A and B are shown apart, each in its own frame.
Chain A
Amino acid sequence: DVKVTQSSRYLVKRTGEKVFLECVQDMDHENMFWYRQDPGLGLRLIYFSYDVKMKEKGDIPEGYSVSREKKERFSLILESASTNQTSMYLCASRRMNTEAFFGQGTRLTVV
């Protein structure tokens, strides 16, 4: 059974904290993605990676960075968390031109 695992279901962080969201996939997929989901806005792409140490900005990269040191792991970093980054974060992985598999999501609240 294929799996994308996000390290936390719920997180509460303080404004200004550095936040790490971790994602691991066990399918040997080349491509990994971080999305942000907000009501009425759908899924918006923050960053994606098509190979180890490679990254591309998505539609809303401001305030975020990513790290992919190993093929199976893709981390999203909030350098200095702000309240407008309170959201649901979804990680996904896929092979070229096939379906994407999503993690269960991390609901982040910044207070």
Chain B
Amino acid sequence: GENVEQHPSTLSVQEGDSAVIKCTYSDSASNYFPWYKQELGKGPQLIIDIRSNVGEKKDQRIAVTLNKTAKHFSLHITETQPEDSAVYFCAASITGNQFYFGTGTSLTVIP
């Protein structure tokens, strides 16, 4: 099956700096790549997603890039704020049904 690796596992940045989280996947058939944010005591919520026919997608301070050849995708958060502190998960979907998740990145934004 698919294998998704996510790095780093923890990340601390100063408020206003950028944060980058990277994921790799193993199955070239994967075609949908969402990113989820999980705040303390809550379930994960989608923040941005990208499909395999697109190389980059942006939504305000958040962007995702996809390199199908290298089989990796990245989350970029610019101008970080304390409320960005959370655990972030990447995922890949092959069949359209089942997701494979990375192990998560705990982001801390230091005021």
CB-defined contacts of B32 to chain A, threshold 8 Å: 97
Do B43 and A103 touch (CB < 8 A)?
Answer: yes
CB-defined contacts of A100 to chain B, threshold 8 Å: 34, 46, 99
Task: Name the distance in Å between A102's Cβ and chain B's nearest Cβ.
Answer: 4
Q: A99-B46, A99-B49, A105-B43 are in contact. Are A42 and B97 (CB under 8 A)?
A: no
Do B42 and A96 touch (CB < 8 A)?
Answer: no
Q: Which residue of B lies closest to A9 (CB)?
A: B41
Tally of A-B residue pairs with Cβ under 8 A?
54
The interface size bin for chain B is 20 to 34
Cα–Cα, bound, A48→B99 (Å): 10
Q: Which residue of B lies closest to A48 (CB)?
A: B98
A interface majority secondary structure? strand
Do B44 and A97 touch (CB < 8 A)?
Answer: no
CB-defined contacts of B36 to chain A, threshold 8 Å: 102
Cα–Cα, bound, A23→B36 (Å): 20
CB-defined contacts of A75 to chain B, threshold 8 Å: none
Do B103 and A104 touch (CB < 8 A)?
Answer: no
Do A102 and B96 touch (CB < 8 A)?
Answer: no
Contact of A104 among B9, B31, B42, B93 (CB under 8 A): B42
Cα–Cα, bound, A103→B43 (Å): 6
Count of chain A residues near B, Cβ 8 A: 26
Residue from A48, A99, A103 with most neighbouring chain B CB atoms (10 Å): A99
Seen from chain B, the residues whose Cβ lies within 8 Å of a Cβ on chain A are: 1, 6, 9, 31-32, 34, 36, 41-46, 49, 89, 93, 96-104
Report 30 cross-chain contacts, Cβ distance below 8 Å, ordered by A residue: A4-B43, A31-B97, A33-B98, A35-B101, A40-B9, A41-B103, A42-B6, A42-B101, A42-B102, A42-B103, A45-B98, A45-B99, A45-B100, A48-B97, A48-B98, A56-B98, A58-B98, A90-B44, A97-B93, A97-B96, A99-B34, A99-B46, A100-B34, A100-B46, A100-B99, A103-B43, A104-B43, A105-B41, A105-B42, A105-B43
